[in-house]
Structure 1
Amino acid sequence: MKRQEALLHLRENSVLKYRVEQIAALHEYLIINRDELARQILSVFKDSCIQALNLQKKCDKGKIQHIHFTFFRHRVINHDASCRIYFYDHQGYMDSVECAKEFNANWVFKFLDIFERQLTQDSKKYVNKIYSADISQIKREEASFYVNYMANLIRHVMKDAVETDEFLALGKDSEVYIRVGEYKDFNELVYKFDSKEQQSAEVRSRLDPNENDQYAHESFKNVDLSHMYFKLVNLCYSHFSKTSLVGSYLVGCPLIGADFRSANLQETSLDYSLIHGADFRGANLCKAQLEEVQGSFVVPTEKEFHIPPFMETNFAGANLEDASFKGADLRGANFRGALLKQTDFSQANLEGASFYLKDIQLLKLNDQQLDGIQVSSND
């Protein structure tokens, strides 16, 4: 076997195997430890806000417009999981006054290190064909799968972080862009903070008709968007908290990670939409239609790596009276504390979904659904 053949054989037989294994381990670890890890990130974020504010008080720092949670690929390759959070003004990377604080992301990258060790062990089968540089290159490529989990945890934390006194005290632009990624390289927008007050009439005129089908990360908080029509409109990670969407149609829309906390979605149709990781906590979904929605939260298999990881679709405390989830994929969803009177889960996949024990008797679930759900007391 020649060197290139050995490399190809290793990639085809070991890389995918160990990728699935270690991402599954990371997934499970974060499910168990998410609250503590979120507190750690929130603490670093608040400390960084204080640092930036102190620089602003000395007139050394302008208004904050960009916040980057940064990892360093060369560090990761060398088993160093220390990352940084940077605060920039409107100049971004050209901001000459550094405001940065380090944090440790070993909780993510330790699984990548295990992957590396497993691959190194397998490489010994190909005597003198595969070098340590080859393993490092594969590890470099694999890092993005692990950073996805860090990005999704930070996105989750930012919903609370932008409401802290430390962040609100900062001098900042009306829009603040929070990103996760490699230092001065590819990064992903995980949260857009928008402090501008919006008027319902202006927002409605902008959205109707939906000539622009891309509204990811946009803020539509606390406005009246009732009886509007959206079809196949990208609303991923958009903010609808405390917004009225009564009687609206969001059919076939990507709503991954969208924030509907305390929104009014009474008689709204979200049929066939993608709601992975969407947050409906405390929302009113009375008589809403969510048939055939896709909202699974699962340990990813080889075929499910395209599904955004690490956040369940959350209906905790929502009013789901007379709502319909016929044929929906709701694996791993959270229904604890939801009002479930006459809620229709016929033919829905509820594997791993969580309910309170007192609510089970209200639901007409078949034996397969009952066997697959997670039941907890409401203490």
Structure 2
Amino acid sequence: MDKQAALHHFKEHHFTPLLDIQLDTLENKFHRCQDQLISDFQKSFRDLCIHILGMQQQGQKEAIGYIHYSFLRTQILEQSYLYMVEAYSAEWYEDDSDCKLTYDASWAYAPMNTILETLEQERKIYMGAITSVDVERLMLESAPFFHQFVNSLLRLGLAEAVQMPEYLAIHKADRLAIRTGEYKDISENLYVEDQEALVPDDVSEQLMQSSEEEPYVYENLKRLSLPHLHLIQKDLRYNDFSYSDLRESQFHTCILIGSIWQRANLEGSRFQGCLLTDTDFRYSDLRGANFSSASGQPHREHGVRVPGLCGLRFEHANLDGADFTDVHSFEHAYFEGASMQGTLVPRKYQQHWKLNEAQRQSIVWTE
């Protein structure tokens, strides 16, 4: 067996099956320990904000334009799973005033230790064709599979973290983006905040004119008055509509992956046929909302599980009279503290959703 054939066989029969097992275990932990993991993250975020404000009060740091959570592949090989968390001015990497702390993500990356130890033993059966360097290369290639869990946890935790007094106190640039990714490489927005107020009519026009070629995504659309908005087949993934007035709006067959609607007024709105994977409706007013035929389909392909890890969040929302007829892939939906008087729900979700007795009694179960 030559080198390439050995590598292919090793990856197919040893590395990939072991990775899948560890990712399954990690996903179970992610859901089981989510509250504690979010709490730990928020504590570290609070410490970062205190550090930022301290530097600003001493004149050592300008208004913050970027906060970046970075993983470093080189440290992963050293089994160090600390994310570098850096705060920059609006100049981003041109800002040479260091403001950094770390975030311990060992909860997500610890399975890599198990994989590495196992592969180091299993490579020996290839009689020298597979080296430790080959194993290390495979481990580095797998880093994004573990990062996706950190990414999802930060998304869940930031919604409340940005309400902390410590965060509100720091001086911010006109636009602040909290991002995550590999150090000084590809990264993505987790949260965006604009200090300048948006004009509702302008936003409405931009939403209407968006297209498959020019989607309207990753924007901060909070605190806008946009009632009776009518959008069809738009890509609006990862937009933040929190605190906005969207009464009687229609989002027909739109892509709403990862969108945030916390404390929004969505009374009577329609989300029929929408892709709602990882949407966040916590504390929103969804009385009479229509979700019929919507999907929460998670992404699953070769270890990639994002979007889909955050689930659909309806905690503390008002879902009285809402319609979940014919929704599919809503198994990971969360309703703690939600009002569900007269909510139409397919009976198949009785066994999947964690509901209290009052919720179960107030729901209208459908076939």
Q: Say whether the fold is shared (TM-score over 0.5).
A: yes
Q: Which residue does the alignment assign to 2:23? A: 23
Looking at structure 2, the residues matched to 196 and 120 of structure 1 have their Cα atoms a distance apart, in angstroms, of 54
Q: How does 1:137-176 map to 2 (within 5 A)?
A: 137-176=137-176
Gap change, CA 1:103 and 1:247, over 3 Å in 2: closer
Query: SS where residue 133 of structure 1 aligns?
Result: helix
Gap change, CA 1:336 and 1:249, over 3 Å in 2: same
Residue 302 (structure 1) shift? 5.2
Q: Deviations over 1:153-200 (max 9, x none)?
A: 112222122222222222221211111122212222211122322343
Residue 251 (structure 1) shift? 1.6
Residue 350 (structure 1) shift? 6.1
Residue 252 of structure 1 pairs with residue 260 of structure 2: no
Q: Which residue does the alignment assign to 1:375? A: none
Looking at structure 1, the residues matched to 351 and 306 of structure 2 have their Cα atoms a distance apart, in angstroms, of 17
Q: Which residue does the alignment assign to 2:311? A: 312
Query: SS where residue 125 of structure 1 aligns?
Result: helix
Gap change, CA 1:53 and 1:320, over 3 Å in 2: closer
> 1:319 is aligned with what amino acid?
N
Is residue 297–residue 308 contact of structure 2 (8 Å, CA) maintained in 1?
no
Question: How does the TM-score come out when normalised to structure 1?
Answer: 0.88
Q: Which residue does the alignment assign to 1:177? A: 177
Looking at structure 2, the residues matched to 119 and 277 of structure 1 have their Cα atoms a distance apart, in angstroms, of 34
Gap change, CA 1:359 and 1:339, over 3 Å in 2: same
Q: Deviations over 1:267-305 (max 9, x none)?
A: 2111121212211122222222212222257xx865783
> 1:359 is aligned with what amino acid?
Q
Q: Deviations over 1:73-128 (max 9, x none)?
A: 11101211122210111221121111111232111110122222233333233222
Gap change, CA 1:357 and 1:121, over 3 Å in 2: farther
Structure 1: unaligned runs, 5 residues or longer? 370-379
Is residue 317–residue 339 contact of structure 1 (8 Å, CA) maintained in 2?
yes
Q: Which residue does the alignment assign to 2:294? A: 293
Looking at structure 1, the residues matched to 172 and 265 of structure 2 have their Cα atoms a distance apart, in angstroms, of 30
Q: Which residue does the alignment assign to 1:276? A: 277
Looking at structure 2, the residues matched to 231 and 185 of structure 1 have their Cα atoms a distance apart, in angstroms, of 34
Is residue 231–residue 250 contact of structure 2 (8 Å, CA) maintained in 1?
yes
> 2:294 is aligned with what amino acid?
V
Looking at structure 1, the residues matched to 247 and 279 of structure 2 have their Cα atoms a distance apart, in angstroms, of 18
Query: SS where residue 216 of structure 1 aligns?
Result: coil
Looking at structure 2, the residues matched to 194 and 237 of structure 1 have their Cα atoms a distance apart, in angstroms, of 15
Query: SS where residue 316 of structure 1 aligns?
Result: coil
Q: Which stretch has the larger CA shift, 112-121 or 131-140?
A: 112-121
CA RMSD of aligned residues (A): 2.3
Q: Which residue does the alignment assign to 1:372? A: none
Q: Which residue does the alignment assign to 1:223? A: 224
Residue 357 of structure 1 pairs with residue 357 of structure 2: yes
Query: SS where residue 175 of structure 1 aligns?
Result: strand
> 2:241 is aligned with what amino acid?
F
Q: Which residue does the alignment assign to 2:264? A: 263
Is residue 81–residue 104 contact of structure 1 (8 Å, CA) maintained in 2?
yes
Is residue 332–residue 354 contact of structure 1 (8 Å, CA) maintained in 2?
no
Q: Which residue does the alignment assign to 2:6? A: 6
Q: Which residue does the alignment assign to 1:111? A: 111
Looking at structure 1, the residues matched to 189 and 210 of structure 2 have their Cα atoms a distance apart, in angstroms, of 23
> 1:99 is aligned with what amino acid?
C
Gap change, CA 1:93 and 1:118, over 3 Å in 2: same
Looking at structure 2, the residues matched to 180 and 88 of structure 1 have their Cα atoms a distance apart, in angstroms, of 13
Q: Which residue does the alignment assign to 1:374? A: none
Is residue 66–residue 177 contact of structure 1 (8 Å, CA) maintained in 2?
yes
Q: Which residue does the alignment assign to 1:377? A: none
Give the % identical residues.
27
Query: SS where residue 354 of structure 1 aligns?
Result: coil
Gap change, CA 1:213 and 1:327, over 3 Å in 2: farther
Q: Deviations over 1:185-219 (max 9, x none)?
A: 22222111223223433433443444585222212
> 2:117 is aligned with what amino acid?
R
Looking at structure 2, the residues matched to 80 and 304 of structure 1 have their Cα atoms a distance apart, in angstroms, of 22
Q: Which residue does the alignment assign to 2:51? A: 51
Is residue 255–residue 275 contact of structure 2 (8 Å, CA) maintained in 1?
yes
Looking at structure 1, the residues matched to 250 and 317 of structure 2 have their Cα atoms a distance apart, in angstroms, of 19
Looking at structure 2, the residues matched to 78 and 272 of structure 1 have their Cα atoms a distance apart, in angstroms, of 46
Question: How does the TM-score come out when normalised to structure 2?
Answer: 0.91
Gap change, CA 1:210 and 1:178, over 3 Å in 2: same
Q: How does 1:58-137 map to 2 (within 5 A)?
A: 58-137=58-137
Looking at structure 2, the residues matched to 8 and 151 of structure 1 have their Cα atoms a distance apart, in angstroms, of 30
Structure 2: unaligned runs, 5 residues or longer? none
> 1:247 is aligned with what amino acid?
E
Query: SS where residue 51 of structure 1 aligns?
Result: helix
Is residue 220–residue 238 contact of structure 1 (8 Å, CA) maintained in 2?
yes
Query: SS where residue 245 of structure 2 aligns?
Result: coil
Gap change, CA 1:103 and 1:363, over 3 Å in 2: closer
Residue 339 (structure 1) shift? 2.6
Looking at structure 2, the residues matched to 302 and 206 of structure 1 have their Cα atoms a distance apart, in angstroms, of 33
Q: Which residue does the alignment assign to 2:345? A: 345
> 2:132 is aligned with what amino acid?
S
Is residue 82–residue 105 contact of structure 1 (8 Å, CA) maintained in 2?
yes
Looking at structure 2, the residues matched to 353 and 88 of structure 1 have their Cα atoms a distance apart, in angstroms, of 41
